[in-house]
Amino acid sequence: MKKLSVIFTMIIMLGLISCGNIKGNQSDDTVTVPGDEKTEAVAQVEPEQLTLEAFKEKVWNFEENPTEWVFKGDVPCVIDFYADWCKPCKMVAPIMDELAKEYDGKVKFYKVDTENERELAGAFGIRSIPSILFSPMDGRPTMSQGALPKEEFVKIIEQNLLNNNNK
């Protein structure tokens, strides 16, 4: 029985060691082109995590303008209100990652952890997650609740944020 326990422990340790080094020595932010001695940095575009203070700085300071939406961004944005334990939120996260890459420079993508940013979630009356806030440059933002397919997110972004009504 003792031998079995030792073997089991060794297998677990080997698994942990090998999982921690899957990518070898190559870092996440570089790509090497075969035959090229240069290494180029690759932009890692993904939704940015927002705290209450960052939200007030980058999106809307609801303390300064409690009755009027005054958008502070330089491009429209999409904000994913989520929680780590939420399964539908986990389904939406990779879609948001893809969209952040596809709309890089046109739309900013943010994430708000409702467990850590309760005041911010409360300011928007978040009762169910995921809740997605779509904020155009001009006009009032709109909110969507629940896990939507990527095509729906694209449609909302194109029509409501980028004013491309042909999609």
Sign of the alpha-carbon dihedral angle for 24, 30, 33, 38 = negative
Label residue 50 left, alpha or beta by phi (over 0 means left) and psi (-120 to 50 means alpha): beta
Alpha-carbon distance of 96 to 111, in angstroms, equals 9
Residue type, 91: M
Other beta carbons within 10 Å of 13: 10
Catalytic residue status for 86: yes
Alpha-carbon distance of 145 to 107, in angstroms, equals 20
User: Which residue has 């575009």 as its token pair?
Assistant: 45
Catalytic residue among 86, 120, 133, 157: 86
Task: Tell me the residue length of the chain.
Answer: 167
Catalytic residue among 50, 79, 89, 148: 89
Catalytic residues: 86, 89
